[in-house]
């Protein structure tokens, strides 16, 4: 860990390239703003993007394999050095791998011009290279317990390749879209299932609260296995009754995990509380998709998908991005009013997008409301946290 800290001090060029979270979090937030700002116009046909994907497939792909993947990359490039004690990726290597992600966005957005095969090769190259990079770090750091994270990145890379192929062959990438979303949700359950109780424990210890979150144990491992099986069933057969039962059981089990972490005790610290909110939406997504499988007239597939995509992924990624940025740039771990607005806006985006499914007569207004709230959330992040990411860390305030 001391060597990892050393490289931050030794890098004397652009601060933005000193740690993985800096360029990737900033790029992810900027893309979250741009992609959703244009999405309603693209969806309604008011503007055109020269992509080989259908508008809906482009939207899904860029939220999962564009935005979410960038946040995952920034988080892992920052966390792995702490796991292994190795120097973090910095400088030109970091610039190159971040540029590869950006080339993927350009390739997807121009795939109707350059062809879907070249676009797929450029786009999928990022996750393949990234998986190789982090696997080397984990293996050489003798940190085999985290090889499961590398495996998930490789599976995500395969799902991305399948997305391009399925869209080109069948005209829609429904299966690969579910696969990508399911992998990100599982990453939230896996990584969030460790950091949420850990940060909660630390905060309660500082407040001298005796009752602490239950530590990760066999029950948590069992719930992860159950959740993985339910997600696999959802990918393969989202409308089947047995899939619905599995999703409901997995959702209930994850709610029980969350209850054991005593999130209500952290309501005075929004940086911790929002982590519980993100995990809550992940569990809630299981219930929505489960209800749809069993009673499709009660809740649409899109409602559950957006509880996961906007609620769980949007909230949890913003929670980790804000906390990581504050911590590594030596700012106080306090959620400012703007940060609280950012959290509230992404939750509002989820609510508006889900209401769109239940009030079809107001679908378009709710779509614009959801997009506006999402853009406001990430524009707020860029305005407040962009300078922190681009500048050197100062003294802790």
SS3 (DSSP) at 47: coil
pLDDT at 8: 46
pLDDT at 12 over 60: no
Q: Which residues of 365-390 are buried (b: 16+ CB within 10 A; e: fewer)?
A: ebbebbbbbbbbbbbbbbebbbebbe
pLDDT of residue 217: 87
Q: Domain residue spans in the chain?
A: 1-172, 174-397
User: Average pLDDT for residues 279-284, to the nearest whole number?
Assistant: 98
Q: Residue 7: its pLDDT value, please?
A: 47
d(CA 12, CA 178): 43
CA 223 to chain centre: 20
Segment 111-136 shows an average pLDDT of 94
Query: In the predicted model, is pLDDT for residue 9 greater than 70?
Result: no
Please compute the mean of the pLDDT values over residues 32-40 and round it to a whole number.
97
User: Which pLDDT score, from 0 to 100, does residue 157 have?
Assistant: 95
Average pLDDT, stretch 305-329? 96
- Say whether pLDDT at 295 is over 50: yes
Confidence label for 16 from pLDDT (cuts 50, 70 and 90): confident
**Residue 289 confidence (pLDDT):** 97
Residues 290, 293, 298, 299: what is their CA dihedral angle, to the nearest 10 degrees? 70
- Could you give phi then psi for residue 261, rounded to 5 degrees? -95, 0
pLDDT band at 395 (very low <50, low <70, confident <90, very high): very low
CA dihedral 213→219→221→222, nearest 10 degrees, is -150
pLDDT in tens, 220-276: 999 999 999 999 999 999 999 999 999 999 999 999 999 999 888 888 899 999 999
Q: In the predicted model, what is the mean pLDDT of the chain? A: 91
pLDDT score recorded for residue 13: 58
Specify whether the CB–CB gap between 57 and 176 falls below 8 A: no
Q: What is the pLDDT of residue 5?
A: 47
Which pLDDT tens digit goes with each residue over 330-350?
899 999 999 999 999 999 999
Q: Which of 3-12, 192-201, 282-291 has the lowest mean pLDDT?
A: 3-12
Q: What pLDDT sits at residue 392?
A: 73
Q: How confident is the model at residue 381 (pLDDT cuts 50, 70, 90)?
A: very high
Percent of the chain with pLDDT over 90: 76
Q: Which are the contacts of 310, defined by CB distance < 8 A and separation ≥ 6?
A: 346, 349, 350, 353, 370, 374
Confidence band, pLDDT 50/70/90 cuts, at residue 355: very high
**Per-residue three-class SS string for 146-160:** HHHHHHHHHHHHHHH
Least confident among 35-39, 124-128, 208-212, 254-258: 208-212
């Amino acid at each position: 860990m001391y060597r990892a800290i050393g490289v931050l001090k030794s890098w004397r060029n652009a601060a933005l390239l000193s740690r993985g979270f800096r360029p990737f979090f900033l790029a992810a937030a900027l893309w979250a703003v741009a992609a959703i700002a244009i999405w309603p116009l693209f969806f309604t046909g008011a503007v055109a993007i020269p992509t080989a994907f259908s508008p809906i497939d482009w939207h899904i792909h860029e939220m999962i394999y564009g935005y979410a993947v960038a946040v995952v990359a920034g988080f892992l490039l920052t966390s792995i050095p702490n796991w292994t004690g190795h120097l973090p990726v910095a400088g030109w290597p970091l610039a190159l791998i971040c540029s590869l992600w950006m080339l993927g966005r350009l390739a997807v957005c121009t795939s109707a011009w350059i062809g879907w095969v070249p676009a797929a090769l450029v786009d999928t190259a990022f996750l393949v290279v990234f998986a190789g990079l982090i696997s080397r770090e984990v293996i050489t750091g003798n940190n085999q317990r985290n090889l499961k994270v590398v495996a998930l990145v490789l599976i995500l890379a395969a799902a991305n390749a399948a997305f391009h192929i399925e869209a080109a062959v069948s005209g829609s990438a429904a299966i690969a879209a579910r696969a990508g979303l399911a992998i990100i949700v599982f990453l939230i359950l896996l990584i969030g299932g460790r950091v949420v109780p850990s940060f909660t424990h630390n905060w309660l210890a500082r407040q001298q609260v005796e009752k602490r979150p239950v530590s990760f144990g066999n029950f948590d491992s069992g719930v992860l296995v159950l959740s993985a099986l339910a997600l696999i069933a959802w990918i393969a057969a989202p409308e089947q009754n047995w899939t619905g039962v599995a999703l409901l059981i997995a959702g209930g089990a994850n709610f029980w995990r969350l209850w054991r972490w005593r999130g209500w005790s952290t309501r005075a610290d929004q940086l911790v509380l929002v982590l519980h909110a993100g995990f809550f939406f992940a569990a809630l997504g299981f219930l929505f998709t489960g209800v749809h499988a069993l009673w499709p007239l009660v809740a649409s597939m899109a409602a559950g998908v957006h509880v996961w995509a906007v609620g769980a992924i949007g909230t949890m990624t913003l929670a980790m991005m804000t906390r990581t940025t504050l911590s590594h740039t030596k700012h106080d771990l306090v959620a400012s009013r703007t940060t609280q607005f950012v959290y509230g806006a992404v939750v509002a985006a989820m609510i508006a997008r889900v209401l769109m499914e239940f009030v079809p007569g107001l679908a378009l207004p709710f779509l614009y409301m959801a997009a506006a709230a999402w853009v406001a959330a990430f524009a707020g992040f860029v305005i407040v946290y962009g300078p922190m990411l681009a500048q050197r860390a100062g003294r802790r305030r």
